[in-house]
Amino acid sequence: HLFDFLFITLLIRSGIEIFGAHPKLYWHDDALPGSEWLRFTEKRMPKDRPWTAEDEITPISPWLALPGRNNLGLGRHWHYWGVIGWVLTGLIYVTLLFATPQWRRLVPTSWGIFPAAWQAIAAYAHFRLPPDGNPFNGIQQLTYFFVIFILSPLQILTGIMMSPALVARFPWFPKVFGGRQAARSLHFIGLIIFVGFILGHVTLVIAHGFALEMAKIVLGGEAHSHAIAVAIALSGIAAVIAFHFWGTRYSLASPFRAKKLLEIGIDPLQRLLFHHWDSRQNYRHVSRYARVNGHPPRNETYHRLATANFKDWRLELGGLTGKDLNLSLDDLRRMPRQTQTTLHMCIQGWSYFAEWTGVSVAALIDMCQPLPNARFLVFRTLDEKWEKPGHGYYYEVIDLEIARLSQTILAYEMNGQPLPVPHGAPLRLRVENQLGYKMAKWVNRIEFVESSAQIGEGQGGWRDDVLHYSPSDAGI
């Protein structure tokens, strides 16, 4: 109970933080504005001026979310730790349950459970306690069975179905529940059911006798000291609450240190599970509207290039290479074209389908003849991030393994037309097994480097530096 209480509350609070980044739910992966079936925001997007997905963010109070105040990156880190702890606790519990006769307490073995459950519901409805079962009454046994063996696996499956690496590698998998957005909606519904179960469970524990139930839970039987059981239980609850207070305050006061602590043990696991999957997407559908995240550059250099239809724009490739390159847009168009229709998945939660045409990054790598010590590609851009001044130009880092995947391209067309400025003209990166923020727009230079530690703040990308995202979880 103690570990389950700790991890499920971490999951709920961090899940609320993640949901606040896009507090709208859809059933279809187009995620068209206005098509949401449920929304938790009063914000209405303007119709008289351009807007971006960042305008849809709803910061949530730290009293409710972990850590709160629009900290999506740290919220995801806390969520991963909650997932690992909760799943491990559940696996240990279920293993011990079926290794002993205790499974009979939770698994119904007779159809008689349903009339017994109805009698218990009728008793509760009349504010009476039904007779004790063995040890649970009918509705308790059915509820526990549902939560442990149906709701919990459903939450795990729908959570995994939101991974861009998984969706890219197995496009059919999310369709089991109707798509990625449907999985997100079901995941949220599951969260609401869990919250309702916890509130109902605690209420009934108190109604049946808090001290008596604590003796059963903490000490293993009602004959043991009720006072000691209550003291231990309240101490455990207080410890969990104190941990939440510490985690929230530390994350808000020292976000960089909190991120580093939360990455311990998580990064290797994420790389092992999600890093190597190649995208195999080939959809036939293109969304009629594609959300934009981030405003176009406002600097004079970009304005001049855009005004001239990017005729003077060049893509520079250099660093640890045997051959530096300087390519125009026409040079790229003369190279073998690659077209792919994929599902774009934003870290905030929305998505859309689009067709991208461009040149394979693997082909450019081969042309540059990288040196043996080159391990990463740094994608420099013309985006000065005027919305958040003081943090330098936008950049992204991916390793050579991801760069060589079959659907990693530099796109100069979108949906059969030249790439629009809001979506990154003249050139944007497409890494189809990653979240959208890794797909740098307005690219003008690629550097081959041995390490990204000296680039920016050394975290692997502009958003990783500034917003405390993590490149290792861009596939989740």
Only one residue has tokens 């919250």, namely 195
Both tokens assigned to 109? 């073995």
Q: Any idea which residue has 């939770």 for tokens?
A: 106
Going residue by residue through the chain (476 aa), what tens digit of pLDDT does each one get? 999 999 999 999 999 999 999 999 999 999 999 999 999 998 888 877 888 888 999 999 999 999 999 999 999 999 999 999 999 999 999 999 999 999 999 999 999 999 999 999 999 999 999 988 878 899 999 999 999 999 999 999 999 999 999 999 999 999 999 999 999 999 999 999 999 999 999 999 999 899 998 998 888 887 788 899 999 999 999 999 999 999 999 999 999 999 999 988 777 777 777 777 899 999 999 999 999 998 999 999 999 999 999 999 999 999 999 999 999 999 999 999 999 999 999 999 999 999 999 999 999 999 999 999 999 999 999 999 988 888 999 999 999 999 999 999 999 999 999 999 999 999 999 999 999 999 999 999 999 999 999 999 999 999 999 999 988 788 87
Distances (CA, A) of 63 to 235, 249, 388: 21, 11, 26
Question: For residue 135, which amino acid is it?
Answer: P
Domain spans of the chain, in order of start = 2-274, 300-473
The answer to whether 28 touches 180, Cβ cutoff 8 Å, is no
Among 79, 76, 74, 82, residue whose Cα is nearest residue 468:
74
pLDDT value, residue 49: 80
Closest CA to 265 of 273, 276, 256: 273
What is the layout of strands, in order, in the sheet containing 325-327? 325-327, 315-319, 443-449, 376-381, 395-399
Q: Angle between the 138-146 and 113-125 helix axes, to the nearest 10 degrees? A: 110
Tokens (6 digits) for 263: 């990455």
How far apart CA 346 and CA 293 sit, in angstroms, is 9
SS3 content of the chain, % helix, strand, coil (to 5): 50, 15, 40
Nearest CA-CA partner of 362 in 396, 390, 395, 404: 404
- Residue 397 and residue 378 in contact, taking contact as beta carbons nearer than 8 Å: yes
Q: What is the DSSP string of 337-395?
A: PEEEEEEEE-TTS-EEEEEEEEEEHHHHHHHH-B-TT--EEEEEES---TTSTTS-S-E
DSSP string across 161-225:
TT-HHHHHH-TTGGGGGTSHHHHHHHHHHHHHHHHHHHHHHHHHHHHTTHHHHHIIIIISSTTS-
What Rg value do the Cα atoms of the chain yield, rounded? 26
d(CA 476, CA 459): 17
Which class does domain 300-473 fall in?
A: alpha beta
Contacts of 264 (CB under 8 A, 6+ apart): none
**315-319 and 443-449 beta bridge pairing:** parallel
For 385, phi then psi, to 5°, come to: 50, 55
In the prediction, which pLDDT does 470 show?
Answer: 87
- pLDDT, residue 119, reads 95
Terminal CA-to-CA distance of the chain, rounded, Å?
28
How much is the pLDDT for 47? 78
Burial status of residue 223 (CB atoms within 10 A of its CB: 0-12, 13-18, 19 or more): exposed
One-letter amino acid for residue 18 of the chain: I
pLDDT at 266: 76
Residue 377: name the closest of 396, 390, 356, 392 by CA.
Answer: 396
State the Cα–Cα distance between residues 443 and 285, nearest whole angstrom.
27
Confidence at residue 200, expressed as pLDDT on a 0 to 100 scale: 94
The answer to whether the beta carbons of residues 448 and 368 sit under 8 Å apart is: yes
